[in-house]
Structure 1
Amino acid sequence: MNLQTVWIIFAAVMLKAVGQALFSTGLQNPKYTAEEKKEGQDYEVRTYQATKWVSTTVSGMHLDDAMSNGFRTLFKYIQGGNNNQSKVEMTAPVTCRVDPGAGPTCESNFTVSFFIPEELQENPPQPTDPQVYVEERKEFTAYVRTFGGFAKEKSKREELLKLLESLQRDGVPYVDQPFYAAGYDAPFKLTNRRNEVWMLKAVPE
């Protein structure tokens, strides 16, 4: 096998990997059940099954920077940065849990996560990067607002405020923080973009 052939094979493998990472079409999603929407309701109520995710936590002031940095770290994991040195299929969405800081000038904690594919849920490859870990999420119920366009930090917070106003209007029990942002698409996908913000349903004590 000559060098040119090796480079062609390498390029094909990398294009497939990047394509899977950047496009939500055909990617596995975590399973959930959704309640039937009531009249005038502008959000979904989803209950997600208990699942495992691969995650990394970033501290900082800006959600978009944290998601970008976290994505790059997790992409190394699915490209073989694990104890099996195995490739892991990309999934959707990429979620970011936001634990706000104590004040406007305080750093927040952002936990960026990829859903681990179904076939690896039982025994996921363990990360080799100490900043990456396998997170076990228990079953949870979230209020979800979906929106399109290019979701920057400002628009995510605006959509979160709209969701909060809707929950207060409907008098449903919710958790103030943390909240989640979820993205499904590549930065250069121009149409039919899908973004979400999630707030957790409060569990009675």
Structure 2
Amino acid sequence: MYIVHLLCSSVTTQSGMALISIEDLAELDDEQLDDDVTDSSEPMDDEQQERLYAHWQAVGRTHQVSVPREMTGPIQEMTRRNQEREQVPFATISRHEKMGEVVFEERVYPAGKWACITKGEKLYEQSISMAFMKLMRFICKENSAGRYLGMTVPVVNEVQVMDDGVTFTKDILTAYYLPAEFQANPPEPTDPDITIVHREPLRVISRVFFGTTTEETIQRQINLLWELLGDVGYLHRQMYMVAVYENPGVPCRRNEIWFIRRDP
């Protein structure tokens, strides 16, 4: 198993919280943050730091989250590097198209190292938010290498379904794929909640969808893909994955639902 969580324990949540993503930093308002804040590798002055933190807090409020001051450092680090994203490697096996558009495709993700964390909050949105903040701090120097590791996409959330085939279990596993530079010798997290896991190759059926990710929207996508695939016995029915590529505040945010192939 594998998958990524991120969120620091000091983040305060309220009911209905949604995920705050590093992708939020790519959507910075020019009226709030100038290019010299987001594009410069130079240290920020006090005014720039305050503007950045105020923006992050504003994003947090839309997700019903209060961001603590101790997240200022990781926020600044990821802001300066928000164009440096590495794609999780994969190979496309097949595509199913309709009227020239890809309806779903089959992929294989190779074996690799993932940083994983599990949260079991009241809502799915709360669990993945808490997980992301923890991973964010791991990526931003809270690791044995003492350095910024680099961001990879997608971040993947694993959901388990109860026997009724509908209800999600509380524990959500979130996973961050370690950049290629660290695959052979992964740095250790300082946070004991995060573990480095070697995952065997993973074969999935993937379908793109857009918008927010909640239990309701995910269940809708699961049902839709089953309708498209029909009654097939080679896929798991009690475990699914949600791959997140973009800021959840973006109306047409890109996500994917992944169905997992059983071992032959």
How many Å separate the matches in 1 of 2:129 and 2:214? 12
2:172 is matched with: 110
Q: 1:18 and 2:79 equivalent? A: yes
1:27 is matched with: 85
| 1:116-162 Cα shifts (integer Å, max 9, x gaps) | 00111111110111100111110010011101123333212111111
| 1:77-100 Cα shifts (integer Å, max 9, x gaps) | 011111222211111111111123
Counterparts of 1:155-174 in structure 2, within 5 Å, are: 155-168=217-230, 171=232, 173-174=234-235
Counterpart amino acid of 1:34? T
How many Å separate the matches in 1 of 2:222 and 2:200? 23
Q: 1:58 aligns with which of 113, 119, 134?
A: 119
How many Å separate the matches in 2 of 1:105 and 1:35? 31
1:48 is matched with: 109
1:139 is matched with: 201
Q: CA deviation at 1:39?
A: 4.8
> Following TM superposition, where does structure 1 have runs of at least 4 consecutive aligned residues deviating by more than 4 angstroms?
9-14, 101-107
Q: CA deviation at 1:108?
A: 2.7
How many Å separate the matches in 1 of 2:217 and 2:116? 24
Q: TM-score, normalised by structure 1?
A: 0.82
| 1:147-182 Cα shifts (integer Å, max 9, x gaps) | 11233332121111111222225x362111221111
2:213 is matched with: 151
Give secondary structure in 1 for the equivalent of 2:211: coil
Describe the shift of the 1:147–1:39 C-alpha distance in structure 2 as closer, same or farther (beyond 3 A).
closer
Which segments of 5 or more consecutive residues in structure 2 lack a partner in the other structure?
Answer: 1-41, 53-72
Q: TM-score, normalised by structure 2?
A: 0.65
Which segments of 5 or more consecutive residues in structure 1 lack a partner in the other structure?
Answer: none
How many Å separate the matches in 2 of 1:194 and 1:20? 21
Q: Is the 8 A contact 1:63 1:110 kept in 2?
A: yes
Higher alpha-carbon deviation: 31-40 or 54-63: 31-40
Give secondary structure in 2 for the equivalent of 1:119: helix
How many Å separate the matches in 2 of 1:140 and 1:65? 26
| 1:44-102 Cα shifts (integer Å, max 9, x gaps) | 10011111111101123422111111101111101111122221111111111112356
2:159 is matched with: 98
Q: Is the 8 A contact 2:159 2:169 kept in 1?
A: no
Q: CA deviation at 1:190?
A: 4.4
**How many residues were matched structurally?**
195
1:83 is matched with: 144
How many Å separate the matches in 1 of 2:206 and 2:118? 22
1:196 is matched with: 256
